[in-house]
Amino acid sequence: MTQNTKDTPEVDLSLRRFIKGLGAAAGGAVLLSQTPWLTSCTPEKLSEAVSEGPARIGIIGTGSRGQYHIHNLLRMPLVGKIVALCDDYAPNLEAASALVPSARKYSDYRKLLEDKELDGVIIATPLGSHARITLDCLSAGKHCFCEKAMALTMEECKQVYSAYKASDRVLFYCMQRMYDPKYVKAFQMIKTGLIGDVVGMRCHWFRNADWRRPVPSPELERRINWRLYRESSAGLMTELGSHQIEVCTIVTGLVPESVAGFGGIVYWKDGREVYDSVSLTYRFADGRNIAYESLISNKFNGMEEQILGKDGTVDLSKGVYYLEDDRSVYGVRRLLDQVKEGVFASVPTAGPSWRPELMGDHVPHYILANSTAKVSGESMIGADNDGSFEILEAFCQSCITGEKAANVVEEAYCATILCLMGNEAMDTGSVVKMPEDCKIPYMKF
């Protein structure tokens, strides 16, 4: 497969149409101000970038996620062109090269960074190398797009953030929910009062798989299954929880000040070092909590990100919301049907509304019409229509224009620090507070 321009119409995808629609709607400017990272993604700015592009992109790390990005880049030829590939594991490099035969190949990322033709670099390597490669990219004058999370340690997070603030280079982290249209719309609906005051948050991510990948030779175990070992991974919190904790900080505009919880290796006792089960409570200064849970030996509950308001609940992962006092026709019809069937005969009712205290009475409303609900959360590579395409396209555009996306790095920093705090709380069995030296001006408590 080689790059071509036959898919030109795909440059103007749903997110940009959505943004354009916001601009045309009453109060559109106000809505966009609540998701400021999107102001650099208008159709007009895209057109300007296309006239100057495409951005010349190199990819460091060509495993499954790196190849996922390659497939997306091949769909956006007007803003992104793959010119270089790098991996120190030959089978992955050759697999990626088969997708882009024209790209130059490197086994040492530092040699790739010397490539004068490159505008930007995508980092899709294990977490343990994120900080080092990102710092080297910025130092080499390259725009940078890195997979989550920001770094393996808090000290590395501080180093990367300081380097970014001192640089004129663009930096993105693949926190794709910030660019998923149904999440964007949900953020705005919550901030404009759809569910009233936010009183709590509940997030979980459940899978049933060992998180392992086949290893062709024993000496490659830690290299291929890097997610299982603490020298290269922070486990479930950074790999899964970072996305969900970030959602909570975005909708509240605040950062939790402390966390407590428990973690353990409950089922997969196979030599791994990271927890396969975590349960945490993050606490905000005003008393609100985030209840967070993840495990990988049961998938019944799938993935959910529930924002609980006084007047309703938004489940962002499903793309739906529920109102506490729902007056929809469907809800009334359902209520009458329940009366007819005699359901209330043995169910305590809740005051004058005659609503039984059962979750099933909450009628789901879609955040966006025809939106795809993704609730299993089982893919280890990436899901369709999850914002990954849109955030990568936004990065390519920024490589051309040099415009930094508001809040993306700051939110990635906050999410990573909070996840690492969670790991520390589980390791020590104590309440861990936000370290003073990790606080940045962006954070509000």
Buried b (16+ CB within 10 A) or exposed e, 375-385: eebbeeebbee
CATH superfamily of 8-178+388-405: NAD(P)-binding Rossmann-like Domain (3.40.50.720)
CA dist 241 and 244 (Å) reads 5
**pLDDT given for residue 28 in this prediction:** 56
**pLDDT given for residue 26 in this prediction:** 46
Closest CA to 240 of 294, 302, 198, 160: 294
**pLDDT given for residue 386 in this prediction:** 85
CB 439 within 8 A of CB 248: no
Look up residue 7 and give its two tokens.
């898919």
Buried b (16+ CB within 10 A) or exposed e, 227-255: bbbeebbbbbbbbbbbbbbbbbbbbbebb
Look up residue 428 and give its two tokens.
């020590």
**pLDDT given for residue 14 in this prediction:** 53
Closest CA to 299 of 206, 210, 369: 206
Sign of CA dihedral 393, 395, 399, 403: positive
**pLDDT given for residue 22 in this prediction:** 56
Closest CA to 62 of 377, 379, 381: 381
Q: Which helix (H) or strand (E) holds 419?
A: helix 408-428
- What residues does CATH 3.30.360.10 cover in the chain? 194-381+409-438
Tell me the three-class secondary structure of 141-185, residue by residue: CCEEEECCCCCCCHHHHHHHHHHHHCCCCCEEECCHHHHCHHHHH
Give 2-59 pLDDT, tens digit per residue.
333 333 334 444 566 666 665 544 455 666 778 899 888 777 788 888 888 799 999 9
- pTM, full prediction: 0.88
**pLDDT given for residue 368 in this prediction:** 84
Look up residue 329 and give its two tokens.
């026709």
- What residues does CATH 3.40.50.720 cover in the chain? 8-178+388-405
Closest CA to 277 of 287, 285, 269: 269
**pLDDT given for residue 379 in this prediction:** 58
**pLDDT given for residue 352 in this prediction:** 39
**pLDDT given for residue 49 in this prediction:** 82
194-381+409-438 has which fold?
Answer: Dihydrodipicolinate Reductase; domain 2 (3.30.360)
pLDDT per residue as tens, the chain (445 positions): 333 333 333 444 456 666 666 554 445 566 677 889 988 877 778 888 888 879 999 999 999 999 999 999 999 988 899 999 999 999 999 999 999 999 999 999 999 999 999 999 999 999 999 999 999 999 999 999 999 999 999 999 999 999 999 999 999 999 999 999 899 989 999 998 999 999 999 999 999 999 999 999 999 999 999 999 999 999 999 999 999 999 999 999 999 999 999 999 999 999 999 999 999 999 999 999 999 999 999 999 999 999 999 999 999 999 999 999 887 645 445 544 554 555 444 433 333 333 444 445 688 899 987 655 555 556 556 566 788 999 999 999 999 999 999 999 999 999 999 999 999 999 999 999 999 999 999 999 9
